[in-house]
């Protein structure tokens, strides 16, 4: 199993993201957090995430309530155990200032969510393959 941490507050959007991830790679096990605070707690294995695994990828909505998505790369990149986890921001905002900020904080990829699901699923498959690899042959 490959652990992927998903941070998304909108249930509908979360549904689409999880569906796209499942479609992209069947080995993926998703862990869902609903805001920046939860995601950071997951990474730091704080309660209730004391048994959380180290995710192979973080799929992060940028405009998260309570604690903003920017907290995730800020924390992840500053801790030895998490600094190497690929982070992909998936958001509806194509504002340049968001792109710039994300890049500055060490986010690996910035994906604007396509309106059509088919397009969105395609882009998820693309970055999943790049960050966690293809299905091993015969595996």
Partner 1 sequence: MTVRDVIEPRWYMEIVESAPDATVMIDSSGLIVLVNRQTETLFGYARAELLGQPVEILVPLRYRGRHHIHRDGYFGIPNVRNMGAGLELSGARKDGTEFPVEISLSPLRTERGVFATASIRDATSRRAAEEQFRNLLETAPDAMVIIDRDGNIVLVNAQTERMFGYRREALIGKPVEILVPERLRGRHLGHRTGYFTDPKVREMGAGLELSGRRKDGTEFPIEISLSPLQSANGPLATAAVRDISSRKKSQEQMRNLLETAPDAMVIIDQRGTITLVNKQTERLFGHPREALIGQPVEILVPVRLRSRHTGHRVGYFTDPKVREMGAGLELWGARADGTEFPIEISLSPLETEEGTFATAAVRDITDRKKAQEQIRNLLETAPDAMVILDHHGNINLINKQTERLFGYLREELIGQAVEVLVPERLRSRHLGHRSGYFVDPKVREMGAGLELSGRRKDGTEFPIEISLSPLETEEGRFATAAVRDITDRKKAQEQFKNLLETAPDAMVIIDRRGRITLVNQQTERLFGYGRDELINRPVEILIPQRLRQRHEQHRSGYFLKPNVREMGAGLELSGLRKDGTEFPIEISLSPLETQDGQFATAAVRDITDRKSAQVKLTDYARNLEASNRELEEFAYVASHDLQAPLRNIISFSELLRAEVHGKVSDEADQYFDFIEESALRLQGLIKDILEVSRVNRMERRFSIVDTNACVDTCVAQLRPTLESSGATIETGRLPDVRGDALRLTQVFQNLLTNALKFHRADVVPRVRVEARRDGPMWEFSVIDNGIGLRPEEFEPIFEIFRRLHTADEYPGTGIGLSICKKIVETHGGRIWVESVHGRGSTFKFTVPDAATIVTPRLVNPQLVASP
Distance CA 125, CA 122 (A): 5
Q: Which is nearer to partner 1, 50 or 118 (CB)?
A: 118
Q: Minimum distance from CB of 62 to partner 1 (Å)? A: 8
Distance in Å, CB of 44 to partner 1, minimum = 27
- Tell me whether residue 130 is exposed, middle or buried, using C-beta atoms within 10 angstroms of its C-beta: 0 to 12, 13 to 18, 19 or more: middle
CA distance 9 to 87: 17
Q: How far is CA 65 from the centre of its chain?
A: 16
Q: Are 5 and 55 in contact (CB under 8 A)?
A: yes
Please say which residue, 16 or 88, places its beta carbon nearer to partner 1.
16
- Cis amide linkage into residue 48, ω under 30° from 0: yes
* C-beta closer to partner 1: residue 49 or 120: 120
To partner 1, the closest distance from the beta carbon of 3 in angstroms equals 25
Residue 127: strand, helix, or coil: helix
Smallest distance from the beta carbon of 139 to partner 1, in angstroms? 29
Q: Tell me which residues touch partner 1 (CB under 8 A).
A: 10, 12-13, 16, 19, 63, 91-95, 113-118, 120
Report the residue number, 50 or 96, with the smaller CB distance to partner 1.
Answer: 96
């Amino acid at each position: 199993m490959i652990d992927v941490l998903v941070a998304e507050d909108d249930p509908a959007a979360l549904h689409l993201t999880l569906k796209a991830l499942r479609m992209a790679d069947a080995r993926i096990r998703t862990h869902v957090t609903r805001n920046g605070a939860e995601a950071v707690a997951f990474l730091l294995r704080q309660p209730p995430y004391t048994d959380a695994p180290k995710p192979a990828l973080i799929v992060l909505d940028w405009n998260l309530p309570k604690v903003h998505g920017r907290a995730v790369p800020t924390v992840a990149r500053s801790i030895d155990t998490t600094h190497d986890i690929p982070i992909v921001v998936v958001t509806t905002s194509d504002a340049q200032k968001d792109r710039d900020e994300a890049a500055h904080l060490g986010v690996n990829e910035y994906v604007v969510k396509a309106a059509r699901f088919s397009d969105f699923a395609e882009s998820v498959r693309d970055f999943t393959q790049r960050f966690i690899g293809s299905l091993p042959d015969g595996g």
